């Protein structure tokens, strides 16, 4: 119970962010994932629902491992929360699981790690399929050079050079636990896990690594950009369409349901596991 007469419910959520202005609720008439999901859940609860999320994604960014929570007096089965929400949601937002949580659980503040994947389609011809769910780069990219450069960014660093100007984080110092770059046919996947991220951090990292992958800059440039601590050193911010929040981690005490690490079209690549 979250408080007297209330239940705290956690949900696993996935969404295609293409037509939304990000997660966070904004001015009336601006489509956001939060408002869309709150409306659907409010119908199930038969009362207003207000959500807290693990990570606020930007406009155009997707998620297949988002975690949210809300407090409600409505007594519903976990199946009813999942199925009821999905019946009332549009095709590009889906609830995958629900669980009653203890009062001290918080989707954002109890998260101990977050994981993103950035998916690049690397071919001269623009793809007709998944064109809002991947980033297309027509220049030949050397994934091995990108993977080598990525290792300069692993560990505890000041990521000011990869931080958006409007970032509200108190500190630019973050710890990247892993940053892997792998090629799968025409696709290149950047897989990054950290305790927390700065605004546009992953997209700015992707931009730097793609520049190195073309041969336009040397492998060591990633370290130079990092050490400069100046955003303009790193070049263009990569497009949001290729970015996915794929996992949020919590301590074992919460026993949240575990699903595959997405997005769905990558689940057949065994070498991405881990």
Annotated binding site: 116
How far is it, in rounded angstroms, from Cα 164 to Cα 37?
27
How crowded is residue 269: how many other Cβ atoms within 10 Å of its Cβ?
13
How far is it, in rounded angstroms, from Cα 273 to Cα 265?
14
How far is it, in rounded angstroms, from Cα 105 to Cα 109?
8
Name the catalytic one among 46, 58, 191, 252. Answer: 58
Binding-site residues for substrate sit at 116
Positive or negative, the CA dihedral 86, 92, 98, 104 is negative
Instruction: Judge if the upstream peptide bond of residue 54 is cis by omega within 30 degrees of 0.
Output: no
Residues 244, 117: contact at Cβ < 8 Å? yes
Task: Please say if 58 is a catalytic residue.
Answer: yes
N- to C-terminal Cα separation, the chain: 34
The DSSP string of 73-123 is S----HHHHHHHHHHHS-TTEEEEEEEEE-TT--TTTT--EEEEEEEEEE-
How far is it, in rounded angstroms, from Cα 49 to Cα 71?
7
Q: Which residues are tagged catalytic?
A: 58
């Amino acid at each position: 119970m979250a408080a007297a007469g209330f239940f705290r419910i956690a949900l696993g959520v996935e969404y295609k962010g293409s037509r939304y202005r990000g997660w966070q609720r904004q001015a009336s008439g601006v489509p956001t994932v939060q408002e869309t999901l709150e409306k659907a859940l409010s119908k199930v609860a038969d009362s207003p629902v207000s959500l807290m999320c693990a990570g606020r994604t930007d406009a155009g960014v997707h998620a297949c491992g988002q975690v949210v929570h809300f407090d409600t007096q409505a007594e519903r089965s976990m199946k009813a929360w999942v199925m009821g929400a999905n019946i009332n949601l549009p095709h590009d937002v889906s609830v995958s699981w629900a669980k009653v949580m203890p009062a001290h659980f918080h989707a954002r503040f109890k998260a101990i790690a977050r994981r993103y994947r950035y998916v690049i389609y690397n071919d001269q011809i623009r793809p007709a399929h998944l064109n809002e769910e991947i980033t297309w780069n027509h220049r030949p990219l050397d994934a091995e050079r990108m993977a080598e450069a990525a290792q300069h960014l692993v560990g505890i660093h000041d990521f000011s050079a990869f931080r958006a100007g409007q970032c509200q984080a108190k500190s630019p110092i973050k710890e990247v636990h892993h940053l892997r770059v792998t090629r799968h046919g025409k696709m290149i996947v950047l897989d990054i896990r950290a305790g927390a991220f700065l605004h546009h951090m992953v997209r700015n990292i992707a931009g730097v690594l793609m520049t190195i992958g073309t041969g336009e800059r040397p492998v060591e440039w990633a370290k130079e950009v990092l050490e400069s601590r100046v955003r303009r050193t790193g070049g263009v911010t990569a497009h949001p369409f290729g970015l996915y929040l794929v996992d949020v981690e919590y301590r074992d005490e919460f026993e949240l349901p575990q699903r595959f690490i997405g997005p769905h079209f990558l689940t057949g690549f065994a070498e991405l596991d881990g």
